[in-house]
Amino acid sequence: MADDDKTKDVNSFFAENPEKADKEFYGRVPNPDRRGFLKRTGLATMAAMVGTSIPFHRNMPIGFVPAAMASEDVLVGKDGLTLLNDRPVNAETPPELLDDAITPTSRHFVRNNGIPPEDVDAASWTLTIDGFVDTPLTLSIADLKEKFEVVTSALTLECGGNGRGFFNPPAKGNQWTYGAVACSEWTGVRLKDVLEAAGVQSNVVYTAHYGADAHLSGDPAKLPISRGMPIAKAMTDEILIAFEMNGAPLHPLNGAPLRLVVPGWPASTAQKWLTRIELRDVVHDGPKMTGKAYRVPNRPVAPGEKVETEDFVIIERMPVKSLVTFPANGAEVGMETEVRGHAWSGDRTIEKLEVSSDFGATWQTAELDAPVNSGAWQNWRSNVSFPQAGYYEVWARATDSNGEMQPFAIDWNPKGYLNNTMHRVGLRVS
């Protein structure tokens, strides 16, 4: 499915334009009888989606969606998420469902780039640490638990494209609104400890992460995503190799049985279904690390302006941001209501959270909790009174420990990344 097709699932995509969908999914060219030859990569893709081979694939009509795939619930174990795409599976959480201080697993967003692996047996899973290390390691999950300190931390993950749906002109990609963010409790071992055990050589500048998910084409030689981070970031205390989420094994869509959790940086660096970490003496150049992927222009650009590839820089820390989780947008409230939510800012802390109910003319300071640990978002709350019945908007803005404040609007960028404009909710006061 093309990134810019604003469809929510395979069925609607095929219903709107079956020949286009067939070509984009499977590379199949229609014949006069509306059947087509399914190329090798297309056949592999369809077989992967239904879980086995398809002996009579040549008889399938153009625009055909296998029944097994059409009936499959791709969000099993997720509660109330909005499905943006089901190949790969991408789903966000409405802000009002993110009201918990710790995000339940059932409400943690899903951002996948490929097809999740079917075999996720934790007992047989291994992680390899290699590249420029003194002692390459191959570790089972049991080894990780036995050889390294196991820690539990609340850590914030946010997709670099969260808020993409609000750019004008539109940016291609999943049209995330507010809900590609979460702060769950993760249990695992520090990446730093594992790398130190392998012995980081002096020429290392970057990590490279690899997972077991398959490329959408079905080609086993291709990786859907392989990103990394500077070694200085990798050696900080907050980054975990996680095997539990909220006190239970990881959810399959969130990377079971093993993943990285990298708070404060784009969640794309937090490889799911983790199988290997390579230490490199150059900036990693895996899929979604080069070109314009997870990069922004090195200068402000005009909306719609074409930017050359060499003028893009890699996204590192995420910007200061806040979210209103109560009341929900469009709610009806009384003359006074509590307003609450969360705020975060990359690897910094939040120093102040303010709310306005008069379109930004005046602001009141909210009560702000300290983070429960480094890497967690901060919870806030405030009581807001209204002078009379009518329509109001509550705006929220955060200021971080470096003095950076959320803007009302941000500069456009071609890929729709890092949208940290103020969150606004409309309320009807009766």
39: pLDDT strictly greater than 60: no
Amino acid identity for residue 341 in this structure: G
If one counts every other C-beta atom within 10 angstroms of the C-beta of residue 283, the result is 14
Compute φ and ψ for 321, nearest 5 degrees: -160, 155
Domain with CATH 3.90.420.10 in the chain: 82-314
**CA separation for the pair 41, 233 (Å, rounded):** 38
**CA separation for the pair 147, 362 (Å, rounded):** 55
**CA separation for the pair 181, 199 (Å, rounded):** 33
3-state secondary structure of 193: helix
Looking at residue 7, its pLDDT comes to 37
312: pLDDT strictly greater than 90: yes
**CA separation for the pair 149, 271 (Å, rounded):** 21
**CA separation for the pair 211, 277 (Å, rounded):** 9
If one counts every other C-beta atom within 10 angstroms of the C-beta of residue 175, the result is 21
Buried b / exposed e across 289-328, counting CB within 10 Å, b at 16+? beebbbbbbeeebeeeeebeeeebebbeebbbbbbbbbbe
Domain with CATH 2.60.40.650 in the chain: 320-429
State mean pLDDT over 57-62.
Answer: 67
pLDDT digits (tens, 9 = 90+) for 169-210: 999 999 999 999 999 999 999 999 999 999 999 999 999 999
H/E segment holding residue 394: strand 390-400
**CA separation for the pair 95, 177 (Å, rounded):** 9
At how many degrees (to 10) do helices 18-26 and 40-50 cross? 100
More confident residue, 85 or 274: 274
Superfamily (CATH) of domain 82-314: Oxidoreductase, molybdopterin-binding domain (3.90.420.10)
Task: Select from 225, 219, 216 the least CA-distant residue to 259.
Answer: 225
Q: What is the CATH number of domain 320-429?
A: 2.60.40.650
**CA separation for the pair 404, 402 (Å, rounded):** 6
Residue 361 pLDDT class (50, 70, 90 cuts) = very high
**CA separation for the pair 155, 31 (Å, rounded):** 52
100: pLDDT strictly greater than 60: yes
Looking at residue 73, its pLDDT comes to 72
The pairing of beta strand 126-131 with beta strand 137-140: antiparallel
pLDDT digits (tens, 9 = 90+) for 253-305: 999 999 999 999 999 999 999 999 999 999 999 999 999 999 999 999 999 99
Residue percentage of the chain with pLDDT more than 90: 81
Query: What pTM was estimated for this model as a whole?
Result: 0.84
